């Protein structure tokens, strides 16, 4: 097992590496000289993202990228990947991720998200790889008692099955460290990723109707949707709409790279919040995106969604002090880059 402080000597397996956050993280890692292996079943992503990664990082860095189309639940496929590469660490993104959908499809969410994690860590153990960064979520804090949320804030009963999968996977990975102190686990609890690569070549491209706010807003802006659906305007917030800590996907990608560097030579289990520390309401996002695209976007108020909390935002002091990381982009930047991506790729990676 080796994670070195020299990125050029490190090989990282990125599950779900063709997805929104995964693909941007792959770009940052390749630009730092890390060898990257992606495993992605493309169930909610496009293989075309690989060409965009190549364009952004250039030919030399792209030579360090290998892609396997496979389900992380497929143990035989994982074993083949570990046999073919000396994997030093894993960044685990692969999983279903829509809060609303998870309420409707709990069996699928528990089976896929928890199942693929168990398959993955068992394969890691069998191949002597015991370093993993897990893509966790602020949903593990449930409906918070007080804000901002710190890593010491209590984990609360989750408000939806998606949140429960994140909650349980954190417990599973923590149990690995208790059972075997050689494990090196970092749980990154991030808040609401939005934005896109500043080049406009990569961004969020959900299949079907978007479950997250920003891609939906962006699709309204390019005319693919009629209006933004705002779920609930009777929350105890300044304008009645839900408040979230939105973070630029590039800041998030840099956070994963910083965590990978920090892990070198360590063992144990550590938790970090990744956010901006600023809460922004749904209507404030609609207004900011309207400014980015140059026209007022229509919206309609709908009833609250099951599983949504009133507000959450992060205290990211720990990540700043230990990882040397903090968010650099503001809401205007995030909406500008989202609009740049969506306006130049109105149908995402498909056209």
- Is the pLDDT at 66 greater than 70, yes or no? yes
Any domain includes 181: yes
What CATH number is attached to the domain comprising 50?
3.40.50.720
Any domain includes 33: yes
Give the span between the Cα atoms of 113 and 94, in whole angstroms: 8
What is the mean pLDDT of the segment spanning 310-332? 97
Any domain includes 331: no
What is the band of 210 on the pLDDT scale with cuts at 50, 70, 90? Answer: confident
Any domain includes 70: yes
What is the band of 100 on the pLDDT scale with cuts at 50, 70, 90? Answer: confident
Any domain includes 304: no
At 125-151, the pLDDT tens digits run 999 999 999 999 998 998 899 999 999
What is the band of 91 on the pLDDT scale with cuts at 50, 70, 90? Answer: very high
What is the band of 16 on the pLDDT scale with cuts at 50, 70, 90? Answer: very high
Told to judge if 313 belongs to the known catalytic residues of this protein, a careful annotator would answer no
pLDDT at 160: 86
Any domain includes 102: yes
- Is the pLDDT at 307 greater than 80, yes or no? no
pLDDT at 1: 42
Alpha-helix residue ranges (DSSP H) falling in the chain: 20-31, 49-57, 59-62, 75-84, 99-104, 106-109, 115-126, 161-179, 213-221, 249-263, 282-293, 317-318, 331-344
Any domain includes 314: no
Any domain includes 176: yes
List 141, 162, 216, 246, catalytic entry: 162
- For residue 201, the 8-state DSSP code is S
- DSSP-based three-state secondary structure for 99: helix
Give the span between the Cα atoms of 311 and 301, in whole angstroms: 18
Measuring CA to CA, which residue among 21, 26, 19 is closest to residue 11?
26
pLDDT at 158: 87
- Is the pLDDT at 305 greater than 90, yes or no? no
Give the span between the Cα atoms of 351 and 340, in whole angstroms: 15
Q: Is the dihedral of CA 23, 100, 102, 348 positive or negative?
A: negative
- Is the pLDDT at 313 greater than 80, yes or no? yes
Q: What is the CA radius of gyration of the chain?
A: 19
The residue segments making up the domain with residue 178 are 9-195+247-275
| Percentage of the chain modeled with pLDDT above 90 | 89
């Amino acid at each position: 097992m080796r994670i070195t402080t020299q990125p050029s000597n490190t090989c990282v397996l990125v599950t779900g590496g063709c997805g929104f956050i995964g693909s941007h993280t792959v770009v940052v890692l390749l630009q730092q000289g890390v060898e990257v292996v992606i495993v992605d079943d493309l169930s909610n992503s496009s293989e075309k993202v690989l060409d965009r990664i190549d364009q952004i990082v250039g030919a030399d860095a792209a030579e360090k990228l290998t892609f396997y189309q496979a389900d992380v639940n497929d143990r035989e496929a994982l074993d083949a990947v570990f046999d073919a590469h000396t994997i030093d660490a894993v960044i685990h993104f692969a999983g279903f991720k829509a809060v609303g959908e998870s309420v409707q499809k709990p069996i699928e969410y528990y089976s896929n998200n928890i199942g693929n994690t168990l398959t993955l860590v068992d394969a890691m153990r069998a191949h002597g790889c015991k370093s993993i960064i897990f893509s966790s979520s602020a949903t593990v804090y449930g409906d918070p008692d007080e804000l901002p949320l710190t890593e010491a804030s209590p984990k609360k009963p989750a408000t939806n099955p998606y949140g429960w999968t994140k909650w349980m996977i954190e417990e599973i990975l923590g149990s690995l460290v208790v059972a075997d102190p050689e494990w090196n686990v970092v749980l990154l609890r991030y808040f609401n990723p939005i934005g896109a690569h500043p080049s406009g070549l990569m961004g969020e491209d959900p299949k079907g109707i978007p479950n997250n706010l920003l891609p939906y807003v962006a699709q309204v802006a390019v005319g693919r949707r009629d209006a933004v659906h705002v779920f609930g305007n009777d929350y105890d917030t300044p304008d009645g709409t839900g408040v979230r800590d939105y973070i630029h996907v590039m800041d998030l990608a840099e956070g994963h790279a910083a965590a990978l560097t920090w892990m070198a030579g360590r063992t144990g289990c550590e938790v970090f919040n990744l956010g901006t520390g600023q809460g922004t309401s749904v209507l404030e996002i609609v207004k900011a995106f309207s400014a980015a695209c140059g026209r007022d976007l229509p919206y309609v108020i709908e009833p609250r969604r099951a599983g949504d909390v009133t507000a959450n935002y992060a205290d990211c002091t720990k990540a700043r002090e230990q990882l040397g990381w903090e968010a650099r982009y503001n809401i205007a930047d995030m909406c500008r880059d989202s609009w740049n991506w969506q306006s130049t790729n109105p149908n995402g990676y498909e056209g």
